[in-house]
């Protein structure tokens, strides 16, 4: 893909996002569509999505920088940079969702480690610090310290499943209350991390060293897509067969009311088509096609995060609760507002521009420093 096209897309997305950033910072959550019943919307889904990509990129990068696997040599720095960029965007997403962003310091000073949210704040902070240190050491011409990478790997594995744990402890939401949900989020992270690297290497080129990891990365992604498909079938078929209203109703809502998004985007575009393409040696050898498949996987996973998060909140916890109150926010209906979409597009713009700037300036700088050290 011509990088100028990607830069143009990134700039347009960021310009749209500036409107959303301004609206959120000036008017607060007045123009957001979530409310008292549906309290987590598009921004939280974006946080799960972008945070998952960050963790996945770090995990794939550790195969090069920590474990030293020859097949993955040369992709570690790119993976760390992608992890850092998507992590920043993900934390911005959840930051915009906070009612009082200025109180975030309380999570560090007045901390309660019995709180899942506090655990997540500290874990994401440590993950970001370890990623930044490892990236700095990589770009300074030396290998990242193993202790940093090991600690980063441990925290990354915790962070990968943290969204599933955070939702799963809500025993009142049986749609979320499943022990395998944190594991599912780990699979999502590995899948989206691999997909992001396929986009970077497939559409914008890879170094000769990094190119060696491409065949293995595509096959691994195909395997992960099959696991995603299997877990989707297992969860939905069990929920529909058991017919517990708090589980079955959100599934029916996804499959019927959002049929186009679910069947076409999540299942067909996000799972089946990439699975078929990446499983074939001939098509998997085409870098541009693999890059496009990476985009398809990312799109499908974004939709799946949304469908895990939102429909469960559109079911009454108590019969008649939603009709007992009237006014703004007291509704089970939810469609992201223009402000929410604008913020989301702005975050995507930041990711696109961040990755492109890293490819154009960071990578050559790292190469230069490495050669001087040598």
Question: Is 5 part of a structural domain of the chain?
Answer: yes
Question: Is 371 part of a structural domain of the chain?
Answer: no
Q: In this predicted structure, what is the pLDDT of residue 208?
A: 57
Interacting residues of 31 by C-beta distance below 8 A, sequence separation 6+: 23, 24, 337, 338, 339
* Average pLDDT over every residue of 55-71: 94
Question: Is 373 part of a structural domain of the chain?
Answer: no
CB 152, CB 130: distance < 8 Å:
yes
The tally of CA atoms less than 13 A away on the side-chain side of residue 165 is: 13
pLDDT tens-digit profile of 183-207? 999 999 999 999 999 999 888 876 6
Q: Are residues 13 and 41 in the same domain?
A: no
CB 275, CB 293: distance < 8 Å:
no
Which tokens belong to 46? Answer: 């974006």
Report the candidate in 273, 271, 293, 268 with the shortest Cα–Cα distance to residue 218.
Answer: 293
Q: Are residues 24 and 63 in the same domain?
A: no
CA dist., res. 37 & res. 174, Å (int): 16
Question: Is 73 part of a structural domain of the chain?
Answer: yes
* Average pLDDT over every residue of 36-56: 95
CA dist., res. 54 & res. 134, Å (int): 14
pTM: 0.94
CA dist., res. 250 & res. 313, Å (int): 9
Which tokens belong to 330? Answer: 């007291």
Query: If you average pLDDT over each of 20-29, 31-40, 364-373, which comes out highest?
Result: 20-29
CA dist., res. 246 & res. 320, Å (int): 14
Report the domain count for the chain: 2
* Average pLDDT over every residue of 37-65: 96
Conformation bin of residue 141: beta by default, left when phi > 0, alpha when psi is -120 to 50: left
CA dist., res. 297 & res. 275, Å (int): 9
Q: Are residues 186 and 235 in the same domain?
A: yes
Q: Are residues 24 and 51 in the same domain?
A: no
Q: Are residues 3 and 114 in the same domain?
A: no
Question: Is 44 part of a structural domain of the chain?
Answer: yes
Confidence band, pLDDT 50/70/90 cuts, at residue 364: low
CA dist., res. 264 & res. 342, Å (int): 24
Q: Are residues 20 and 159 in the same domain?
A: no
Q: Are residues 179 and 218 in the same domain?
A: yes
Q: Are residues 239 and 325 in the same domain?
A: yes
CB 347, CB 93: distance < 8 Å:
yes
In angstroms, how far is CA 361 from the centroid of its own chain? Answer: 25
Q: Are residues 163 and 311 in the same domain?
A: yes
CATH number for position 258: 1.20.1630.10
CA dist., res. 296 & res. 36, Å (int): 33
Q: In this predicted structure, what is the pLDDT of residue 207?
A: 63
Q: Are residues 92 and 112 in the same domain?
A: yes
Neighbours of 340 (CB within 10 A): 24
In the predicted model, is pLDDT for residue 89 greater than 80?
Answer: yes
Q: Are residues 162 and 276 in the same domain?
A: yes
The angle that helices 76-97 and 363-373 make with each other, rounded to 10 degrees, is: 140
In the predicted model, is pLDDT for residue 342 greater than 90?
Answer: yes
pLDDT tens-digit profile of 220-277? 999 999 999 999 999 999 999 999 988 999 999 999 999 999 999 999 999 999 999 9
Q: Are residues 113 and 18 in the same domain?
A: no
Containing structural domain, residue 19: 1-29+344-365
CA dist., res. 229 & res. 275, Å (int): 10
Question: Is 374 part of a structural domain of the chain?
Answer: no
Report the candidate in 24, 88, 25 with the shortest Cα–Cα distance to residue 357.
Answer: 88
Question: Is 203 part of a structural domain of the chain?
Answer: yes
In the block, residue with structure tokens 């067969």: 241
Question: Is 232 part of a structural domain of the chain?
Answer: yes
């Amino acid at each position: 893909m011509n990088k100028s096209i990607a830069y143009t897309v990134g700039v347009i997305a960021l310009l749209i996002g500036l409107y959303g950033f301004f609206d959120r910072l000036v008017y607060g959550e007045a123009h957001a569509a979530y409310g008292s019943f549906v309290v987590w919307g598009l921004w939280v889904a974006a946080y799960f999505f972008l945070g998952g990509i960050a963790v996945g990129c770090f995990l794939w990068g550790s195969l090069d920088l920590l474990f030293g696997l020859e097949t993955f040599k040369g992709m570690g720095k790119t993976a760390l940079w992608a992890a850092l960029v998507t992590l920043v965007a993900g934390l911005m997403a959840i930051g915009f969702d906070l009612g009082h962003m200025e109180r975030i310091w309380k999570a560090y000073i007045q901390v309660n480690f019995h709180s899942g949210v506090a655990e997540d704040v500290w874990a994401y902070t440590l993950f970001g610090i370890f990623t930044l240190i490892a990236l700095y050491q990589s770009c300074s011409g030396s290998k990242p310290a193993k202790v940093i990478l090991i600690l980063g790997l441990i925290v990354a594995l915790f962070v990968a499943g943290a969204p599933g744990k955070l939702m799963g402890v809500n025993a009142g939401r049986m749609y979320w209350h499943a022990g395998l949900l944190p594991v599912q989020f780990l699979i999502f992270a590995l899948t989206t991390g691999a997909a992001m690297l396929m986009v970077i290497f497939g559409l914008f080129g890879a170094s000769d060293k990094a190119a060696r990891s491409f065949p293995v990365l595509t096959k691994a992604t195909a395997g992960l897509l099959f696991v995603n498909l299997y877990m989707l079938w297992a969860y939905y078929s069990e929920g529909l067969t058991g017919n517990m209203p708090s589980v079955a109703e959100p599934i029916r809502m996804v499959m019927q009311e959002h049929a186009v998004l679910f069947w076409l985007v999540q299942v067909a575009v996000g799972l089946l088509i990439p699975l078929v393409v990446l499983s074939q040696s001939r098509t998997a050898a085409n870098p541009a096609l693999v890059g496009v498949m990476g985009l398809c996987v990312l799109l499908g996973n974004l939709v799946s995060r949304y469908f895990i998060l939102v429909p469960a909140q559109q079911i009454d916890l108590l019969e008649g609760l939603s009709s007992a109150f009237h006014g703004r926010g007291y509704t089970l209906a939810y469609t992201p507002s223009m402000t929410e979409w604008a913020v989301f597009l702005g975050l995507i713009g930041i990711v696109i521009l961040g990755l492109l700037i890293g490819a154009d300036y960071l990578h050559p700088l790292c190469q230069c420093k490495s050669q001087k050290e040598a």
